[in-house]
Structure 1
Amino acid sequence: MTSSISSLHEPISAMGIKLVELETFLAVAECGSFSQAAESLHVTQPSVTSRVQRLESILGIQLLERTTRRVELTADGTRLAIEASTALRGLFKVIGDLRNETQLARQCVVIAATPMLAALTLPPVIQAYTQRYPSVQVELLDLQYPEALAALDSGAANFAVIAFEPRSERYQRELLWREKMVLVVPAQHPLAKFRSVEPAMLVNYPLMVIEQYRSLRAQIAEVLEQQGLVMPPVKSVGNLNTLLGMLDAGMGVTLLPHVIAKRNDERGTRIVLLEGLDLHRDFGIAYSQKIDQSTAVTSFCEFLRQHMALEAAETSAKA
């Protein structure tokens, strides 16, 4: 059975040994240098030397030997380093776990997301997360792309889940998944009878795209230009609901991520693949470079990573 504190011959605190002295000794042992240990601990080298000397004085033994190149452990120093590092690792782990659990219980997570992701991708993730961590409050901000970034800049959101545009140094980004883009047409549209079409077949039909899909529009225009063809008229809209309404009204054809297109099958639309074009959108998490994330935010992001990885694996298995 594990010995209790009261059964020890003499408490460590009664010997005058301080935790900071053991931490400093272990830093020197790991770095093999007083100066490097001081740098890693963000203290001066004389402070490191003083702490180690005091520990040696209390124990009455020499723990370290200086050579011309580095600091070496004595036999007694090696024994202490092994036991102390094991004990402190266990102590730090349980303290960290307790602090994380406490922070999770007290914090909330605010997510900014563009309408398509806020409506279709994130709700099941948030539901599953809050079932596992009921004490964490998760708030979802349904925003257009510029407003989602503005929420990051102002601190109104902890992070954003968005489609990635050309890189901005203001944000730290993490790719979570990639969506193949497909052509979506009304059920009665002339292209609805085809499983796939070449880009040249688009020239006679107005193309409707969400404003953030400008890069995809440029890809199609480049392919058509190479064939001596002109890009069809393009209508840009601000959000998914407007786009779907225009699609239902037969105002043109559009591009959507495949998973979103599949979920809209019941609207009477048809999915058509584009041949000879690798059209895709990258989605993931964007953070402000200036803000350290809380434990709750880190926890949710890890949960989101696992969820999207599982979805990707299931999609691959069905393919």
Structure 2
Amino acid sequence: MGIKLVELETFLAVAECGSFSQAAESLHVTQPSVTSRVQRLESILGIQLLERTTRRVELTADGTRLAIEASTALRGLFKVIGDLRNETQLARQCVVIAATPMLAALTLPPVIQAYTQRYPSVQVELLDLQYPEALAALDSGAANFAVIAFEPRSERYQRELLWREKMVLVVPAQHPLAKFRSVEPAMLVNYPLMVIEQYRSLRAQIAEVLEQQGLVMPPVKSVGNLNTLLGMLDAGMGVTLLPHVIAKRNDERGTRIVLLEGLDLHRDFGIAYSQKIDQSTAVTSFCEFLRQHMALEAAETSAKA
């Protein structure tokens, strides 16, 4: 049985982090997956690569040797992959973007339309993916970069903040909270809260504020994508949190925007690149166009405020 590239990458992540759980977090996979990959690698090689101490995971002598050689080999491999991809894409003038569904549906289409009108020779492909799949597309080279909401930092990616969105409460038009322009977090305790899975950190912020007031977080339903969330909202299954610009664009669905008092809830959005692969001229050009577009939108929003 041959050694798989993902097993070497996983082993190096554990070696770098000194922890199976931290390696799993950096790779966006489960800890059992990390353990299984490393165990399979050790089984194929017939040696022990790692040993657990009370505080962290340490490399054995064989593990140290493999880590040095594998790291050098993978850097060389990723450089060749990047060079070949850039040469091909430069000839074709192709840009491949990975984006989460909300951004792929509402934020990026007008940017891509404006860019391709200005640069008709450049082909722009948009991959509509869930957050883990968007990062996987970066890792595999299937996408040049990703436009995503930023989660806790991973050193595997170079990130550039482009804009920050205020989060607002969105409720059905006939909901008891719809008559208010703003509400305090305590008013949420009687209503189920529905959130996209990536908004777990916002849910934690609300829970902390409620706990300080001696209140219990309302039932929370996590969903995988925006369309499901909006369908549940239309059905009156609860209230939700959305970036303000997304909430405004869904006004015609018969929903109401309600501000949350005493809470600074926001999401940071921007570009994420793989640190392993250099970017082509076409990709650099599109990213600069995106920066300018988002800066202009931010200026227009500030002027209207």
After TM superposition, the score normalised by the length of structure 1 is: 0.68
Change in Cα spacing, 1:300 to 1:56, as seen in structure 2 (3 Å) is same
Provide, for residues 211-258 of structure 1, a one-character-per-residue CA deviation record: whole Å limited to 9, x for no partner: 000000000000000000000000000000000000000000000000
Q: Which runs of 4+ in 1 moved over 6 A?
A: 15-103
Change in Cα spacing, 1:123 to 1:95, as seen in structure 2 (3 Å) is closer
Q: What is the percentage of aligned positions where both structures have the same residue? A: 100
Provide, for residues 61-90 of structure 1, a one-character-per-residue CA deviation record: whole Å limited to 9, x for no partner: 999999999999999999999999999999
* Displacement after TM superposition at 1:283 (Å): 0.1
Q: Answer yes or no: is the 8 Å Cα contact 1:164–1:282 preserved in 2.
A: yes
Q: Which has the higher contact order (CA 8 A, sep 6+)?
A: 2
Q: Answer yes or no: is the 8 Å Cα contact 1:105–1:136 preserved in 2.
A: no
SS at the partner of 1:55? helix
Q: Answer yes or no: is the 8 Å Cα contact 2:210–2:216 preserved in 1.
A: yes
SS at the partner of 2:47? coil
SS at the partner of 2:273? strand
SS at the partner of 1:255? strand
Change in Cα spacing, 1:199 to 1:107, as seen in structure 2 (3 Å) is same
Return the alpha-carbon distance in structure 1 between the equivalents of residues 188 and 32 of structure 2. 74
Alignment pair present for 1:211 and 2:194: no
Provide, for residues 151-177 of structure 1, a one-character-per-residue CA deviation record: whole Å limited to 9, x for no partner: 000000000000000000110000000
Q: Answer yes or no: is the 8 Å Cα contact 1:21–1:51 preserved in 2.
A: yes
Return the alpha-carbon distance in structure 1 between the equivalents of residues 234 and 184 of structure 2. 23
Change in Cα spacing, 1:89 to 1:154, as seen in structure 2 (3 Å) is closer
Q: Answer yes or no: is the 8 Å Cα contact 2:26–2:154 preserved in 1.
A: no
* Displacement after TM superposition at 1:39 (Å): 39
Q: Answer yes or no: is the 8 Å Cα contact 1:111–1:157 preserved in 2.
A: yes
The residue that corresponds to 1:99 in the other structure is 85
Return the alpha-carbon distance in structure 1 between the equivalents of residues 221 and 77 of structure 2. 61
After TM superposition, the score normalised by the length of structure 2 is: 0.71
Aligned match of 2:70 in 74, 84, 87? 84
Change in Cα spacing, 1:211 to 1:58, as seen in structure 2 (3 Å) is closer
Provide, for residues 166-189 of structure 1, a one-character-per-residue CA deviation record: whole Å limited to 9, x for no partner: 000110000000000000000000
SS at the partner of 2:169? strand
Change in Cα spacing, 1:308 to 1:76, as seen in structure 2 (3 Å) is same
Return the alpha-carbon distance in structure 2 between the equivalents of residues 236 and 204 of structure 1. 17
Return the alpha-carbon distance in structure 2 between the equivalents of residues 43 and 250 of structure 1. 34
Gaps of 5+ in 1: 1-14
Q: Answer yes or no: is the 8 Å Cα contact 2:168–2:260 preserved in 1.
A: yes
SS at the partner of 2:279? coil
* Displacement after TM superposition at 1:92 (Å): 28
Change in Cα spacing, 1:310 to 1:89, as seen in structure 2 (3 Å) is farther
Gaps of 5+ in 2: none
Change in Cα spacing, 1:286 to 1:201, as seen in structure 2 (3 Å) is same
Return the alpha-carbon distance in structure 1 between the equivalents of residues 29 and 188 of structure 2. 67
Return the alpha-carbon distance in structure 2 between the equivalents of residues 129 and 242 of structure 1. 30
Q: Answer yes or no: is the 8 Å Cα contact 1:108–1:137 preserved in 2.
A: yes
CA RMSD of aligned residues (A): 14.6
Return the alpha-carbon distance in structure 2 between the equivalents of residues 234 and 48 of structure 1. 29
Alignment pair present for 1:119 and 2:105: yes
Change in Cα spacing, 1:119 to 1:44, as seen in structure 2 (3 Å) is closer
* Displacement after TM superposition at 1:265 (Å): 0.3
Return the alpha-carbon distance in structure 1 between the equivalents of residues 143 and 231 of structure 2. 29
Change in Cα spacing, 1:101 to 1:76, as seen in structure 2 (3 Å) is same
* Displacement after TM superposition at 1:33 (Å): 46
Corresponding residue pairs, total: 305
* Displacement after TM superposition at 1:106 (Å): 3.1
Provide, for residues 273-309 of structure 1, a one-character-per-residue CA deviation record: whole Å limited to 9, x for no partner: 0000000000000000100000000000000000000
Q: Answer yes or no: is the 8 Å Cα contact 2:52–2:58 preserved in 1.
A: yes
SS at the partner of 2:51? strand
* Displacement after TM superposition at 1:107 (Å): 1.8
The residue that corresponds to 1:307 in the other structure is 293
Change in Cα spacing, 1:27 to 1:275, as seen in structure 2 (3 Å) is closer
Provide, for residues 71-129 of structure 1, a one-character-per-residue CA deviation record: whole Å limited to 9, x for no partner: 99999999999999999999999999999999866320000000000000000000000
Return the alpha-carbon distance in structure 2 between the equivalents of residues 71 and 225 of structure 1. 36
SS at the partner of 1:109? strand
SS at the partner of 1:111? strand
